[in-house]
Structure 1
Amino acid sequence: MKYRKLGKTGLKVSVVGVGTWQFGGEWGRSYDRKEAAAILDKAREVGINLIDTAECYGDHLSESLVGEAIEGNRGDWLVATKFGHHFHGPFERTDSYRPDDVVRQLEASLRSLKTDYVDLYQFHSGPDASFDTDGLWDALNRQVEAGKIRHLGISIGSNRNVYQTSRASAVNAETIQVVYNRLDRAPEEEVFPSCEAQNLGVLARVPLASGFLSGKYRPGDRFGSNDVRSRRDTAEQDRLLSEVERIRSGEVPEGTDMAAWALAWCLKHPAVSCVIPGCKDAAQVEANAAAVELVEDGHPQEA
C-alpha cells in the first residue's frame, strides 16, 4: 500500500480506502456482520486504513456493521462518516442540518460505530443554503474541541460546487469529498484548484463510476430495482458504457485490469489524496488495493 498526507489534517491515509454505502442495502444486496467483517479484515490486511461511511447508508446500518467489525482494532483505522440526512427507507431520505439535530446525528453515529470519536465528520452533499445554516459550523467546531471529531470535511453534492469548496477553510473543514473518475472530470476545472490553494485533502468518491469502469458492464445491461444504479436514465447509462468501451480499447494498456487502471488514473491528479471505491467482497478489496502497483511515485502529497 502507498500513503499520502490528507491535506492539512496531517493524517497519513492509504491511497485506496473502502467505501461502505453498499452495507446500507441500496446496491442490489444486503450484508451481514460476517460479510462486512471479511471485507474490512481484508482491507486491513492489504494496508488500507480509511473507511468512509455515512449516517444514511441505512439508518446508521453501515456504521453499525463497520463499528462491529473494527471494535477490536479501532486505532488502526481512519473512520470518516457524514451528517445531514435521516434515512426512512431505500432511496428515501429527508435533510436535517439544524445544529441541535446534527449533534444528535453525531451521537448516534458514535454509538453505531462503537467509538468515542470520528476521524473525519463530513457535511453530506447538502445545498448551499444548508451549508450556511446559522450556527451549524460553530456547533461542529465545539464538537472538535470536545474531542468527538478530529477533523471536519465537506462531501460536495455537485462536483462543480466551488461555493462550498472555497469556504472550507473559513469553517475549519480540511477535506473535500467529490465524485471524480475518468468519465467525470468536472472537479479539475475549479474544485481541485481551490483544494490545492487551501491544502485540502481530497477523497475521490465513485472512482469506478458506479462500477461502469470496472469493465464488467456493456451497453444494454440493466440493474435490479433494489440497486441505486437502476435509477439512472437508461439512454445516459448506455452512452456512458459506450464511452467505457472506447476508453478500454484506446487508453487501458493491454493486459491491465480496467478497474485498477481507473483507480490509478484518479490518483495521478496532484489534488487527489485517496480514492474510496465500494467493494462487494474481500476479493474486490484485494483487487482495488492492487491499483497501487500502477501508481507512480512523486505525488505532492506522498507521506
Structure 2
Amino acid sequence: MKYRRLGKTDLNVSVIGVGTWQFGGDWGKDFTQTEVDGILNRAKDLGINLIDTAECYGPHHMSESFIGNFLSRDNREDWVVASKFGHKWHDHWEHAWSAEAVKIQLEESLQALKTDYIDLYQFHSGSDEVFLNDDLWTMLDKAIQAGKIRNLGISIGANDNIFQTDKAEEVNAKAIQVVYNRLDQIPEKEVFPSCIKQDLGVLARVPLASGFLSGKYHPGVTFQDNVRKGLTREDIDKKLTLVEKIQKEEVPEGINMAQWALAWCLQHPAVTTVIPGCKSPEQIEMNAAAADLEFVKGDHPSSI
C-alpha cells in the first residue's frame, strides 16, 4: 500500500480507502456486523487505513455504528476515520445545518463510532447559503480545540463548486471530497487547481462511477439498487457504450478495468486518495491492488 499526506493535516492516508455508504443498505444489500468486520479486517491486512462514512449513511447512524462496533475491538489509532455532517436520518430524512443541530450530530456520531475524536469531519454537500454560517464554523473550531475533531473538510455536492472550495482556508478546512472518475472529469477545471493552491487533500468519491467503470456491465443490463435504477435506459446504455470504448482503447491488456479506473484517479497530482465502496473482502483486495498500478504521465496506468 502507498500513503500520501492529506493536505495540510498531519495525516498520512492510504491511497485506497474504504467508502462505507453501502453499509447503510442503499446499495441493494443489507450488511451484518460480521460482514463489515470481515471487510475492515481485510482492509487493515492490506494496509488500508482510511474509512469514510457519514451520519446519514443508513438510518440511525447505521454505517457509523457498524464501524464503531469494529473499532471498539480494534486499535483506534491505526485508522483515519472521516465522517460528515448536515443531514439527519432517524425516523425520516431531514437536513440539519444550524450550529446547535450539527453539535448534536457530532456527539451522536462520536457515540456511534465509539471514539473520542473524528480525524476528518466534513461539511456534507450543503448549499452555499448554509455553508456561509459563522456560528457553525465557530462551533466546529471549538470542537477541534476540545479534541473531538482533528481536522475539518468539505464534501462538495456539485463537483464544480469552486465557491466552497475557494473558501476552504477561511473555514479552516484542510480537505475537499468530490466526485471524480474517468467519466466525470469536471473537478480538473477549477476545483483541483484551487486544492493544489491551498494545499488541500482531495478524497475522490465514486471513482468507479457507481460501478459503471467496474468492467462488469454491458449495454442492456438492468439495475435494482436505489442509485442506478433511477437512470433511464438511454443513460445507462450511453454510459456503458462509452465504457466499452474506454476499455478497448485505454485500458492496457491484462489490467483489470476497475483497478485501472482507481489508478487513473490517483494519477492526478491533486488527488490524495480514492474511496470506493465494497461489498466483500474480495472487493477490498481488488481495490487495494490498484495501489500497485502506476500512472505514467501521458500514458495509461500499467503494472509496475
- Judge same fold: TM > 0.5, yes or no: yes
Equivalence map 1:110-149=2 (5 Å): 110-149=110-149
- Deviation of 1:248 (Å): 0.5
Q: Cα deviation per residue 1:81-107 (whole Å; 9 max; x = unaligned)? A: 000001157xx7321100000000000
Mark the CA change 1:297 to 1:149 in structure 2 (over 3 Å): closer, same or farther: farther
Equivalence map 1:156-235=2 (5 Å): 156-224=156-224, 226-235=225-234
What residue number does 2:259 align with? 260
Contact in 2 for aligned 1:180/1:207 (Cα 8 Å) = yes
What residue number does 1:243 align with? 242
What residue number does 1:61 align with? 62
Q: Which runs of 4+ in 1 moved over 4 A?
A: none
SS at match of 2:239: helix
In the alignment of these two chains, the number of paired residues is 295
Letter in 1 for 2:273: C
Structure 1 gap segments, 5+ residues each: 299-303
What residue number does 1:87 align with? 89
Letter in 1 for 2:158: S
What residue number does 1:301 align with? none
Contact in 2 for aligned 1:23/1:57 (Cα 8 Å) = yes
CA distance in 1, matches of 2:213, 2:163: 29
CA distance in 1, matches of 2:188, 2:17: 21
CA distance in 2, matches of 1:9, 1:297: 27
Mark the CA change 1:163 to 1:230 in structure 2 (over 3 Å): closer, same or farther: same
What residue number does 1:292 align with? 291
Letter in 2 for 1:63: E
SS at match of 2:93: strand
SS at match of 2:251: coil
SS at match of 1:86: strand
Q: Cα deviation per residue 1:42-97 (whole Å; 9 max; x = unaligned)? A: 000000000000010012100000111122211100000000001157xx732110
Q: Cα deviation per residue 1:151-180 (whole Å; 9 max; x = unaligned)? A: 000000000000000000000000000000
CA distance in 2, matches of 1:88, 1:216: 34
* Fraction of identical pairs, as percent: 60
SS at match of 1:181: coil
Mark the CA change 1:143 to 1:256 in structure 2 (over 3 Å): closer, same or farther: same
- Deviation of 1:133 (Å): 2.5
CA distance in 1, matches of 2:228, 2:37: 25
Q: Normalized against structure 1, the TM-score is what?
A: 0.95
- Deviation of 1:234 (Å): 3.0
Structure 2 gap segments, 5+ residues each: 298-304
Contact in 2 for aligned 1:126/1:156 (Cα 8 Å) = yes
CA distance in 2, matches of 1:265, 1:172: 29
Letter in 2 for 1:228: V
Contact in 2 for aligned 1:27/1:229 (Cα 8 Å) = no
Q: Cα deviation per residue 1:120-159 (whole Å; 9 max; x = unaligned)? A: 0000001111111341111111101110000000000000
What residue number does 2:301 align with? none
- Deviation of 1:233 (Å): 3.1
Is 1:269 aligned with 2:268? Answer: yes
Deviates more, 1:130-139 or 1:232-241: 232-241
- Deviation of 1:295 (Å): 2.5
SS at match of 2:8: helix
- Deviation of 1:297 (Å): 8.9
Q: Normalized against structure 2, the TM-score is what?
A: 0.95
Deviates more, 1:119-128 or 1:70-79: 70-79
What residue number does 2:75 align with? 73
Mark the CA change 1:253 to 1:82 in structure 2 (over 3 Å): closer, same or farther: same
What residue number does 1:101 align with? 101
